[in-house]
Amino acid sequence: MTYQEAMNKLQMYGQEHVLAYYDQLTEEQKQLLLEQIQDTDFSMLSSCKEKREENKKGEISPLAAMQLTEIEAGREQFVKIGLDAIKQGKVGAVLLAGGMGTRLGSDDPKGMYNIGLTKDVYIFQRLIENLMDVVEQAECWIPLYVMTSDKNHEATVSFLKEHKYFGYHKDYITFFMQEMAPASDYEGKVYMEEKYKISTSPNGNGGWYSSMHKWGIAQKAMADGVEWLNVFAVDNVLQRIADPCFVGAVIAKDCACGSKVVRKCAPDEKVGVMCLEDGKPSIIEYYELTDELANAKDENGDPAYYFGVILNYLFKVSDLEAIREKKLPLHIVEKKIPYLDENGILVKPEEPNGYKFEQLVLDMIHELDSCLPFEVERNKEFAPIKNKTGVDSVESARTLCKENGIEL
């Protein structure tokens, strides 16, 4: 792209300031900036203006979860079905590790965080140990796909290599990178993080399958016979991954996907809950839950919207393929975005100063015809690490690990 072409594109979106430092750049930096302008989708920035109007929900009704008693009654059969699928190589696991983990406040990828007290226990290590339990039970390796981003790819890959993948077979681990999106101020003007670089941040966890496809990894997985992908977050150190019972239950119920859920600990707990939206499975975020819905009861008199998602989903690959090209809604998230000020000095703000644009994995659920909410015991399977202290923190996760007999 030439300078003039870049300027024309920027003018269309009111982003001419991106070229403000052009004359001060080296030839190589000029080239990098022009390439980035060419590759950047600026159209999403205009959504800042309609922020409040966006992502309107349809008609909400309850979606019953498979609860613990029903799971216990069917456990033997579900585990058998799940283990059979795993042994036949039909199940892969996808670790979503492309996030910035800004709330935790470490510059390293979140998975490198050490939650140990008397010994090293890294978050990545905990996840791999959990997956290893199933590898041992099924007596076969499970393909593990790790999504990183431009911001943490090198660090993630070298950390896992240095730690010999915490005992996992390296041939069964594949890395791929997600896409990035521009970050802007509240008016939708992109920030610059260098004189030759537009500020970008990972574009949310919703693009994981299309990124897997872009890297040719989804195609390879399908050719290898993978039919199900268990997608999970990096920060829940207790979750069971490729859990045979969960896999078996979703297969037995002939659903396009499954979602592990926990009973909310309070009506106003900040988790998204499973529901039907216009008759299709969906997740309603805690801030979208009206008082009426929060207090609604199902036909048994129990709270109708009480099963919170924990970002552990099982997707049928053929159904993912069918929705791969679909555009997911864009979520606009307020964040602290480092930027160059008018003097060209890098500022790291203490408070949020603009927007990041994200697509979310939970929006994929609504594209599918059926989803099984599958209850798990929260004290045994839900220890997310979002913050250093307080709710969903390193501290709370340590307490739960100890309760579950995990030495730290």
Chain residues binding ligand UTP by CB under 6 A are: 96-103, 147, 178, 202-205, 233-235, 311, 386
The least CB distance from residue 140 to ligand UTP, in Å, is 25
Q: Which is nearer to ligand UTP, 101 or 258 (CB)?
A: 101
Q: Which is nearer to ligand UTP, 101 or 354 (CB)?
A: 101
Question: Residue with structure tokens 């790790």?
Answer: 146
**Which residue's C-beta sits nearest to ligand UTP?**
99
Q: Can you tell me whether residue 177 is helix, strand or coil?
A: strand
Q: Which is nearer to ligand UTP, 110 or 264 (CB)?
A: 110
Q: Which pair of structure tokens corresponds to residue 117? A: 């007290």
What torsion do the CA atoms of 78, 81, 86, 91 make, to the nearest 10 degrees? -80
The least CB distance from residue 9 to ligand UTP, in Å, is 25
Q: Helix crossing, 244-252 with 123-138: angle to 10°?
A: 60
Beta-bridge mates of residue 283 = 274
Question: Residue with structure tokens 């045979």?
Answer: 244
Please, what is the Cα angle at 110 between 218 and 306, to 5 degrees? 80
Q: Which is nearer to ligand UTP, 40 or 178 (CB)?
A: 178
Phi-psi map region of 166: left, alpha, beta (phi>0 left; psi -120 to 50 alpha): left
What torsion do the CA atoms of 271, 272, 274, 280 make, to the nearest 10 degrees? 180
- Calpha distance 47→25 (Å, rounded): 31
Q: Which is nearer to ligand UTP, 178 or 282 (CB)?
A: 178
Q: Which is nearer to ligand UTP, 65 or 233 (CB)?
A: 233
Q: Which pair of structure tokens corresponds to residue 60? A: 């909400």
Find the distance separating the first CA and the last CA of the chain, reported in whole Å: 53
